[in-house]
Structure 1
Amino acid sequence: MSEHTDTKKMVGLIVLLVIIVVAVAIIVLNPFAKLKASNPLPGEEGSQSTEKVAIAVSAVPVVRTTLQSYIRGNGNVVDPKALDVYPEVMGNLSFLDAKVGDRVEKDKVLARIDPSRAGVVYKESEVKAPVSGTILAVNFANGASVSAQAPLLRIGMLEALEVEMDIAERYVGSVKVGTKALATFKAYPDQEFVGEVTRLSPVLNPTSRTLEIGISLDDPNRLIKSGMFPTVIILTERLEDVLVISRSSVLYDGSQAYVYAVGTGNIAEKKPVKMGLVVDDKAEVVSGLEEGQRIITQGQTLLTDGTSVRIVE
C-alpha cells in the first residue's frame, strides 16, 4: 500500500514539472508578447503613436460681391392729401348723403346739422365738400349728435397714394428723402412695386420710439388701393466689391472675431478678422483674409489652431 502511494506522488510531481516548463517556454519564446511590448496599443502606457484624427468640416471660399443692407417692415397705404370735414355747429345729424367710396364734387351738400334745442329753433347748417374727391370715411350715422370738434367724414383725392411706415430709432440715420424702397402686396404676390422715401416726420413717437416715414410707389396702373397693408423693404447701405464670408463661420475670443481657414496639408489655421457690414448671414471682412481662402463654416467649434481637418461636401 505504501509503495503504491509513493508511485502516485511521483507521477503527480512529474506532471507538475512538465506544466511549469511549458508555461515558461511560452512566455520566453512568444514573439507576439515581444511585439506588443515594443509597440503598445494607442492609449496604453508606453504608446508612441503620433497619428492625428482629422475633423470633418465644411468650407467655402472668401468671395468678392455686393452687400446690400435693408430695413424690413409693414406699412399702411394712405392718401396724404385727404381732408377731414368738420361741421360748423353742434347738433343732430338730420341729413347725410355720403357713403364710403362715393365720388363727390366740390361744394356738394353732404350733410345738414340741426342745432335746435328745446324751445329754440335754428336754421340747419349745411356741410359741403371742400374739394372734389372720394369719400374715405363716414364717422357718424343719421340722427347722431355731432360737434365741431369731431370730423364728420374724410375725403381723399386718391391721386398720389403714400405708404406710411414706422421705423425704429436705431435706423433713423440710415434713411433720408430719396432712399429707395420696394413693396409687395398680398393682392399682387408676384409683383414688386418700386418707390422711394418722400417724407420723414420731424419728431419720434415718444411712446414707441419710432419715426413715421412716407413712401411713394410707382403705380401707373393704379393697382394700389387706400387701406392696403404692404410689406416694405427700404434699401439702405450698399457696398460694392467687398470681401464677404458667412456670418455663422465667425467665432469670438472676447471681443476679437476670428475664423478658421484651411491651410496647407488640410490644417486649420486660426485667423483674427475685422468685421464690417453684416446683412443676414453675410458679413463683410475689412481685414484678415484674402479672396479665395477657404473658410470653415461647419465644424469650426471643434477646432484649435493646427487641427487636421477633412473637407466634406
Structure 2
Amino acid sequence: MSNQQKPKKSRIGLIIILILIVAAIVVAVINPFENLSQLLPGQAESTIEVEDGASILSVSVHPVERDDLRSYIKANGNVVDTKTVDVYPEVAGKLSFIDVQVGDILTVDQEFARIDPSRPGMNFRETVVKSPVDGTVLAVNFAYGASVSPQAALIRLGMLDSLEVEVAIAERHIGQVGIGTEATAEFKAYPGEQFSGTVTRLSPVLDPVTRTREIGITLDDPEKLIKPGMFPSVIIYTEKVEDAIVVERSSILYDGNQAYVYVVDESNIAKRNDITLGLVVDEKAEVVEGLATGTMVVVQGQTLVTDGASVRIVD
C-alpha cells in the first residue's frame, strides 16, 4: 500500500512545482501589479515620468514673496493686583465679629470686624477693625471665633486699578524681552478677543529652581473685563522683520550648514540656489541673500530634484 502512494505523492509534488514555474513566468511577463497603485485609493502616484528616454520629475513650485515676520514666545500667565493692602489687627484676641467676604467693596474707615482681647479673669473692651483705604476684598484669612494676632493679616484689599499679568519666561529668552516689549493675551472667559499690552516689569533675578524670570505685562482693558486670578494665554513678541523675502520652511534643504533651495527657470530646469537665512517663524523663513522676489521655488518634490534636472510643474 505504501509503495503505491509514493509515485502518487511524487506526481503531486511535480504538479505543484510546474504551477509555481508558470506563475513566475506570468508575473515576469504580464506584471499584474503594474497598476496596483491605481486600484488602491489614497496611494500616491509616481512623480517620475519618462519622456524621450529622459526622466522628468513632477514638482510643485511657489513664487518668492515679501512678507512681515514676527517671532514670539508663548506662555501662560496669572492676573494679579499690583496694589494690595494687608489689614492687620492692632491687638490679639478672639474674632468676635466679621462682616466681609471676597469681592466686597470697602471704603476708608469702614468697620468690618471686631476683636475681643479679653482673657480669663480679665475683661476688655472690643477693638474695632476698620479699612485703611478704599478697595475690594481679595482675601479673607480668618472666620468668626478664630484667634487672631497683629502678626497675621485679617484681610487683603486690592485697588483693582493696576492689574498685571505675571509670566515666567525661560532663561534662554530673557535677552529678547525688555521693558516695552509688545504682548497679547487671550482669556477663556472672552473667546476670540485679544487684549494687547506691553511688558512693564522685569524681575532683577531668576528663580533658582525653575531657571525662569518673572515679568509683568500691563494690558489695555478700558471696560475692566479682566479680574485678578484669571489665567490667560500670552504671546510675547520679540523680533520683527518687515517686507522680508520669505520662503516656505519646508522648501529649504541643507548641505552641511549650507541652506539651499531649488528654483525652476523658464525652461523648466531646476537649479540649486544657496541662500542665507534670517528670522525663522513657524513655517516661514526669511532669506537674507540668494533669492529675488518672484523666483519660482520648488516646494514639493525638492528632495528628489538634482541640480540641472528637467522638471514638470504641477499644481
TM-score by length of 1: 0.76
Residue 211 of structure 1, CA deviation = 1.6
2:193 matched to 1:200? no
Of residues 281, 297, 300 in structure 1, which corresponds to 2:299? 297
- The 1-side partners of 2:220 and 2:249 are apart by 35
Instruction: Specify the code of the residue in structure 2 equivalent to 1:165.
Output: V
Residue 88 of structure 1, CA deviation = 4.2
2:183 matched to 1:171? no
2:155 matched to 1:153? yes
| Residue number in structure 1 paired with 2:66 | 64
| Residue number in structure 2 paired with 1:137 | 139
- The 1-side partners of 2:127 and 2:156 are apart by 18
Q: How do 1:270-285 residues align onto structure 2 when only pairs under 5 Å count?
A: 270-285=272-287
User: Which moved further from structure 2: 238-247 or 71-80?
Assistant: 71-80
| Residue number in structure 2 paired with 1:46 | none
Residue 282 of structure 1, CA deviation = 0.8
SS at match of 2:157: strand
Residue 79 of structure 1, CA deviation = 1.2
CA distance 1:241–1:146, shift in 2 (3 Å) = same
Residue 125 of structure 1, CA deviation = 4.7
Of residues 251, 254, 265 in structure 1, which corresponds to 2:253? 251
Q: How do 1:83-122 residues align onto structure 2 when only pairs under 5 Å count?
A: 83-115=85-117
- The 1-side partners of 2:313 and 2:92 are apart by 81
| Residue number in structure 2 paired with 1:82 | 84
| Residue number in structure 2 paired with 1:191 | 193
Of residues 207, 225, 228 in structure 2, which corresponds to 1:226? 228
Deviation string, structure 1 residues 14-50 (Cα, Å, up to 9, x no partner): xxxxxxxxxxxxxxxxxxxxxxxxxxxxxxxxxxx97
The RMSD of aligned alpha carbons is 2.3
User: Which moved further from structure 2: 206-215 or 275-284?
Assistant: 206-215
Identity value in percent: 61
CA distance 1:306–1:95, shift in 2 (3 Å) = same
- The 1-side partners of 2:215 and 2:240 are apart by 21
Specify every segment of 5 or more residues in structure 2 that has no aligned partner in the other structure, as ranges. 1-50
Larger radius of gyration: 1
| Residue number in structure 2 paired with 1:307 | 309
CA distance 1:124–1:52, shift in 2 (3 Å) = farther
Deviation string, structure 1 residues 114-139 (Cα, Å, up to 9, x no partner): 45556666665544322111101112
Instruction: Specify the code of the residue in structure 2 equivalent to 1:64.
Output: R
Instruction: Specify the code of the residue in structure 1 equivalent to 2:105.
Output: R
SS at match of 1:202: strand
SS at match of 1:248: helix
- The 1-side partners of 2:156 and 2:108 are apart by 13
Instruction: Specify the code of the residue in structure 1 equivalent to 2:59.
Output: V
Deviation string, structure 1 residues 92-150 (Cα, Å, up to 9, x no partner): 43322210111111223333344555666666554432211110111222223444444
User: Which moved further from structure 2: 192-201 or 271-280?
Assistant: 192-201
